[in-house]
C-alpha cells in the first residue's frame, strides 16, 4: 500500500517501496444454478437476460441482412445507416444494465445500438404501469404482461427508427445509430468519437457526487479508447484525491462511476493487446491513477452472469461513495469493424470459431435448461418472440416519417433559459461574504471585476452553477479574476483541476446534460485546441443529435492574450475557428458593463457558450450597474453614431475603433459609426446592415488573424445583403496572416491598431 501523504507538505525523502497492487481476473466461478440457489437472481430475471441479449442480436443481424439484401421482412430496403455491429458482445451491456436502476446513467460508443437496447430493456422492466403507458399510447386495455411487451417493442422500434433516420427515432433521425441515446431511461448517448463519451460520463458522475445522490454512471467504451488522451485524462479526473481527502470538506465521496471496458481485442483492424498496448490486461490501467487501482478487475465478458456479478458489486460500492471502478470485460465481436471490413486479412477462422464456441447466448441457454428454468421449447418461444418483435419494429420503422428537409436545422440551438431557478437550487447561503468590487466615484469597476461579479451573483442565484479550471480556487486563477469565490462558495462549487483541458470541457458537458450549469475556465484560448473535440463534437452537438432530448447549459471562459509578448502559443484570437462549428454560441465583450451582463446571460441560457475575454481589457474600467444587469446575447450595440462610415468590430478592436473614430472626427472631419457585435454567434446582422445602409461604407475589424477570420464572414454577409447600398468596397482589418511573435517591435507590426482602422476608413472616402 502507498504511504500516507504528508499533511504538512514538507519534503519527504525517506526511501520507500510501493506496490502497484494486485489486479484480479476471471475470478467469477458461479453458474445460473448457484446464483438461483444464492437468491441473487430469479428464474424470471434469467429469462430477461436471455431476452435482452436476443433483442440485441436480432436487431444487429437485421442490419447485417439489410446490407446484403437478405432480410425477408424488408425486401429491397435501402439501409444507409452505420454498420458497426456488436454481435458477440451482448453479455456486456445486458449483464451490466440488469443491475442498474432507471435513474442510473450509461454512455456508449459508436457501436452503441446494443447498449441502447440493453439499458432500455432493463429500465422498462422496472417501470410502473403509468410509466409504461406514457411510453406506449393506446395500450391501456392490455394485461401487465402485454403492456410490458408493448413497451419493449416500442423501444426496439424507436432504436431502429433512429438507425433508419426517421423522425420517430430517439434522436428524431438527427443523430443516427452512432449517437443514439434515450435520456428517459438514463442513456446519455453513444459517441462516434472513440473515447469521446468517457469525459461526459465522468462529468455526469461528478454531478451526481455534487448533488449527493446515490446514482451511478456506467461508461461503456472499447479497448481502443483506452489509448486515447481524453480517456486517460478522465481516469485521472475521477481518481483525484480532492474528491475524498480533507479538501473535499465535510462530505468525502468518490465519483460514482464504473469505467466498463468492452475489450473485444481489436481497435479497428489491429490487435489492441499484444500490438498497440504495453499491458497484458487493460484493467492494469487503473494502477496508474489510484492507489486502490480503481478496484480494477478483468472479467469474462462472454458470461452474462459474470458481468452481472461484477457490476452489481461495483454499483453497491459506488453508491456507498467508494468509486471509481474499472472493469475490463474480455469479449469478442464476430464481425469486422464495420460490414465493409471482411476481417479475413487480420483474423483466422480458428480464432473466430474458438470465440463462437463460448457464445454468451448459447452459454446462458444451456444453463437455463440445466437449471430447469425453461426447456428447449420454452427457449424456442423466447427466440421466436425476439425475432418477431424485431421484424415488426423494422417494418414499422421503414414506413415511419422521414424528417422534413425544412427542419434540417431544427434542434441546432434552444430558445430556453434558466429564467426561474427551481426549488432548492435557488436557496444559496454563501460561506463568506461575496468578493467586493472596488468601485470608482462614478460606479466604474474593471472588466476583470465585472466578470467576477457576474459569476458570483449567478452562483448565489443558482446552486447548479459550479466553477472550475486550472488554479482558479485558492489562487484565484492566473489573472486573479476569481479570487474570493472559493471562500464564498466552498470547494464543492469552486475547485482546481488537473492540466487537462479536454477533460475540463468534457466533464462540463456531462455535468450540464444531467442538470448542472457548469462554468469552466481555459487559462488561454490557445488551450481550447486541446479541448476542441469536447467543445465542437460534444458540447455543440448533443442538443441537435439527441433530437432536442437534452440541453447543454455550460459556459467555457477563455482568455485571449495578444499584445503581451507571449508569443505563438499564448496569444491567438481563435474565436473565428469556433464560429465555424454550429451548435455553440460565441460571445466576446469589449467593455466592463457588457462583460458582466453577457456573462450572466451566458450562464442562464441553455445553449453552450464559448465566452471570450481579452486579457488586455481586464484592467479597463467602465460604469457597471451593481446587482442584476443582463445584456442579451445576439444583440449588437451601436456604441458611437456616425453618418460617413460604419466600423463593425468586437473585443479589443472596439476601443481601437472608438479611438480611430475620435481621430477621424477631430482630424479628418469624418463621422464614423461604431458597431460592437458583442456576440458572433448568434450574429445580429440586422443592426449591422441598418448602419451600413445609412453610411454606405464599412470597415470590419478584429484582432484575429485575417486569413479565415470571422471578419470575412461579416464582409460576405454585408456584400450579399446590402450590395446596392455600398458606395465603396468593404475594408477588412485583422492581424497579419502569420504567427504571433514575441518581440515587441514584431508584435506591434503583427497586430492591427487604431491607426490601421482610421487609414482603412479614410481609404473608403
Q: Which among 734, 717, 737 is positioned nearest to 726, based on CA atoms?
A: 717
CA–CA gap between residue 47 and residue 260 (Å, rounded): 24
Strands 637-640 and 672-676: antiparallel
Looking up cell 475524498 gives 244
For residue 30, the tally of other CB atoms under 10 A from its CB is: 16
CA–CA gap between residue 249 and residue 34 (Å, rounded): 43
CA–CA gap between residue 580 and residue 587 (Å, rounded): 14
For residue 76, the tally of other CB atoms under 10 A from its CB is: 7
CA–CA gap between residue 115 and residue 108 (Å, rounded): 7
CA–CA gap between residue 123 and residue 99 (Å, rounded): 10
For residue 347, the tally of other CB atoms under 10 A from its CB is: 16
**348: CB partners within 8 A, 6+ apart:** none
CB distance 390 to 401 below 8 Å:
no
Cα 534 to the center of its chain, rounded Å: 6
Q: Which among 733, 236, 759 is positioned nearest to 502, based on CA atoms?
A: 236
CA–CA gap between residue 244 and residue 482 (Å, rounded): 24
> Residue 701: helix, strand or coil by DSSP?
strand
Cα 577 to the center of its chain, rounded Å: 19
* DSSP letter for each residue of 398-435: HTSPPPPGGGTTTTSS---B--S--GGGG----SSPPP
> Residue 586: helix, strand or coil by DSSP?
strand
CA–CA gap between residue 271 and residue 399 (Å, rounded): 40
Q: 259 φ, ψ to 5°?
A: -85, 110
* DSSP letter for each residue of 22-83: --EES-----HHHHHHHTSS-HHHHHHHHHHHHHHHHHHHHHHHHHHT--TTSTT----S--
CB distance 161 to 145 below 8 Å:
no
Cα 100 to the center of its chain, rounded Å: 22
> Residue 686: helix, strand or coil by DSSP?
helix
Strand arrangement, sheet containing 555-560:
494-496, 467-469, 519-522, 555-560, 609-614, 585-587, 679-681
Estimate the share of the chain in helix, then strand, then coil, as percent rounded to the nearest 5: 45, 10, 45
CB distance 106 to 99 below 8 Å:
no
Q: Hey, which residues are catalytic here?
A: 501, 570
514: cell is 444531467
CB distance 310 to 298 below 8 Å:
no
DSSP structural state of residue 740: P
CB distance 515 to 464 below 8 Å:
yes
| Helix or strand (DSSP H, E) at 248 | none
290: cell is 489510484
For residue 4, the tally of other CB atoms under 10 A from its CB is: 7
Amino acid at each position: 500500500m502507498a504511504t500516507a501523504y504528508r499533511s504538512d507538505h514538507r519534503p519527504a525523502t525517506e526511501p520507500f517501496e510501493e506496490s502497484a497492487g494486485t489486479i484480479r481476473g476471471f475470478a467469477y466461478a458461479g453458474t445460473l444454478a448457484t446464483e438461483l440457489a444464492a437468491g441473487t437472481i430469479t428464474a424470471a430475471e434469467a429469462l430477461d437476460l436471455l431476452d435482452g441479449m436476443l433483442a440485441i442480436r436480432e436487431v444487429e443481424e437485421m442490419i447485417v441482412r439489410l446490407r446484403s439484401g437478405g432480410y425477408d421482412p424488408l425486401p429491397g430496403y435501402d439501409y444507409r445507416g452505420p454498420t458497426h455491429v456488436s454481435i458477440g458482445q451482448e453479455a456486456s451491456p445486458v449483464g451490466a444494465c440488469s443491475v442498474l436502476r432507471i435513474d442510473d446513467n450509461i454512455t456508449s460508443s459508436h457501436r452503441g445500438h446494443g447498449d441502447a437496447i440493453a439499458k432500455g430493456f432493463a429500465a422498462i422492466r422496472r417501470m410502473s404501469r403509468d410509466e409504461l403507458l406514457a411510453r406506449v399510447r393506446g395500450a391501456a386495455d392490455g394485461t401487465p404482461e402485454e403492456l410490458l411487451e408493448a413497451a419493449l417493442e416500442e423501444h426496439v422500434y424507436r432504436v431502429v427508427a433512429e438507425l433508419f433516420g426517421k423522425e420517430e427515432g430517439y434522436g428524431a433521425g438527427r443523430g443516427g445509430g452512432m449517437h443514439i441515446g434515450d435520456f428517459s431511461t438514463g442513456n446519455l448517448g453513444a459517441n462516434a468519437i472513440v473515447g469521446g463519451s468517457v469525459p461526459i460520463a465522468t462529468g455526469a458522475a461528478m454531478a451526481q457526487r455534487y448533488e449527493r445522490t446515490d446514482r451511478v454512471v456506467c461508461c461503456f467504451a472499447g479497448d481502443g479508447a483506452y489509448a486515447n488522451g481524453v480517456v486517460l485524462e478522465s481516469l485521472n479526473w475521477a481518481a483525484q484525491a480532492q474528491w475524498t481527502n480533507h479538501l473535499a470538506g465535510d462530505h468525502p465521496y468518490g465519483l460514482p462511476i464504473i469505467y466498463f471496458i468492452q475489450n473485444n481485442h481489436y481497435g479497428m483492424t489491429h490487435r489492441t493487446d499484444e500490438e498497440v498496448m504495453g499491458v497484458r490486461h487493460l484493467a492494469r490501467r487503473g494502477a496508474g491513477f489510484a492507489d486502490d487501482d480503481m478496484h480494477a478487475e478483468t472479467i469474462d465478458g462472454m458470461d452474462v452472469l459474470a458481468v452481472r456479478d461484477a457490476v452489481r458489486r461495483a454499483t453497491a460500492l459506488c453508491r456507498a461513495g467508494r468509486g471509481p471502478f474499472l472493469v475490463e470485460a474480455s469479449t469478442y465481436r464476430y464481425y469486422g469493424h464495420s460490414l465493409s471490413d471482411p476481417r479475413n486479412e487480420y483474423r483466422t477462422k480458428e480464432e473466430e470459431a474458438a470465440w463462437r464456441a463460448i457464445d454468451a447466448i448459447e452459454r446462458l441457454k444451456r444453463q437455463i435448461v440445466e437449471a430447469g428454468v425453461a426447456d428447449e421449447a420454452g427457449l424456442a418461444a423466447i427466440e421466436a418472440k425476439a425475432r418477431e418483435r424485431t421484424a415488426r419494429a423494422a417494418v414499422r420503422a421503414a414506413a415511419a416519417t422521414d424528417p422534413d428537409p425544412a427542419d434540417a436545422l431544427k434542434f441546432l440551438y434552444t430558445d430556453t433559459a434558466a429564467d426561474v431557478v427551481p426549488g432548492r437550487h435557488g436557496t444559496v447561503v454563501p460561506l463568506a461574504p461575496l468578493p467586493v468590487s472596488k468601485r470608482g466615484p462614478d460606479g466604474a469597476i474593471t472588466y476583470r471585476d465585472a466578470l467576477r461579479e457576474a459569476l458570483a451573483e449567478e452562483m448565489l442565484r443558482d446552486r447548479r452553477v459550479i466553477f472550475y479550471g486550472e488554479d482558479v480556487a485558492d489562487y484565484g486563477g492566473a489573472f486573479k479574476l476569481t479570487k474570493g469565490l472559493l471562500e464564498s462558495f466552498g470547494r464543492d462549487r469552486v475547485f482546481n483541476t488537473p492540466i487537462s483541458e479536454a477533460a475540463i470541457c468534457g466533464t462540463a458537458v456531462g455535468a450540464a446534460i444531467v442538470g448542472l450549469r457548469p462554468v469552466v475556465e481555459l487559462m488561454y484560448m490557445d488551450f481550447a485546441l486541446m479541448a476542441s473535440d469536447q467543445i465542437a463534437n460534444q458540447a455543440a452537438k448533443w442538443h441537435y443529435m439527441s433530437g432536442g432530448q437534452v440541453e447543454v447549459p455550460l459556459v467555457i471562459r477563455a482568455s485571449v492574450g495578444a499584445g503581451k509578448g507571449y508569443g505563438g502559443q499564448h496569444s491567438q484570437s481563435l474565436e473565428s475557428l469556433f464560429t465555424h462549428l454550429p451548435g455553440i454560441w460565441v460571445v466576446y465583450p469589449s467593455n466592463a458593463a457588457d462583460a458582466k451582463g453577457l456573462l450572466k446571460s451566458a450562464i442562464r441560457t441553455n445553449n453552450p457558450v464559448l465566452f471570450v475575454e481579452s486579457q488586455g481589457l481586464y484592467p479597463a474600467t467602465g460604469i457597471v450597474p451593481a446587482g442584476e444587469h443582463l445584456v442579451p446575447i445576439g444583440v449588437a450595440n451601436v456604441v458611437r453614431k456616425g453618418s460617413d462610415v460604419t466600423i463593425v468590430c468586437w473585443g479589443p478592436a472596439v476601443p481601437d475603433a472608438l479611438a480611430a473614430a475620435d481621430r477621424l472626427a477631430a482630424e479628418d472631419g469624418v463621422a464614423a459609426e461604431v458597431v460592437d457585435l458583442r456576440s458572433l454567434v448568434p450574429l445580429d446582422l440586422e443592426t449591422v446592415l441598418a448602419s451600413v445602409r445609412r453610411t454606405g461604407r464599412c470597415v470590419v475589424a478584429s484582432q484575429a488573424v485575417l486569413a479565415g477570420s470571422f471578419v470575412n464572414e461579416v464582409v460576405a454577409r454585408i456584400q450579399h445583403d446590402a450590395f446596392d447600398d455600398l458606395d465603396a468596397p468593404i475594408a477588412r482589418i485583422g492581424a497579419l496572416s502569420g504567427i504571433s511573435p514575441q518581440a515587441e517591435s514584431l508584435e506591434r507590426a503583427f497586430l492591427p491598431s487604431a491607426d490601421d482602422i482610421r487609414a482603412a476608413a479614410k481609404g473608403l472616402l
